[in-house]
Structure 1
C-alpha cells in the first residue's frame, strides 16, 4: 500500500533574477524571488509575468523531484528561461 509519505514530490518553481554591479564595472546576476507552484503551467505563467516586470533581468521556471524516502532533490529540469538568466552550468 502506498501512502503520501512515500510518494516522490514534484516542486514547480519560478525564480527571478536581478542584475548586480560588481567591482570593475562588471555586472552579474543574483536571485531575486522564488515562488513555488503545484503545476508547471502556473510556474511558467509567473515567470512570464515576472520577466516583464521593471527591474527583473530574467526568470526561470523549473521543476525538481524530491525523493520522499531519502529527502534527496533532483537537479532542476528547466521548463522556461526568459531574459538574462545564469548559464546552465551556473544554475
Structure 2
C-alpha cells in the first residue's frame, strides 16, 4: 500500500464526534478508529460496536451482532432509527 493510500484510509471522515438526540436521551460517539459508544439516559456504554461510513450513509454493527444504519443529511444532522441526532459542539 502506498503512503498516500495509507493516509487516505486512516484519515477520519467528517462525522467523527458526538451525536445527540434533541432530548439528550441518546448519545452516539463516533470514534476515529471506526468504533462507536452509545449512551442511553444514565446508562453509559449501553451499546458499543463498529461503524462504517460510505458517502453520507452510516452502517452500525454492535458487539452483539445487531446492525442498523442511518443517513447524514448534513455535517450536523444524522437520521438514524427514526430519530434525529445533532452534532454536539
TM class by shorter-chain length? under 0.3
Q: Which has the higher contact order (CA 8 A, sep 6+)?
A: 1
Q: TM-score, normalised by structure 1?
A: 0.27
Q: Which is higher, the Rg of structure 1 or of structure 2?
A: 1
Question: How high is the TM-score relative to the length of structure 2?
Answer: 0.27
More helix by share: 1
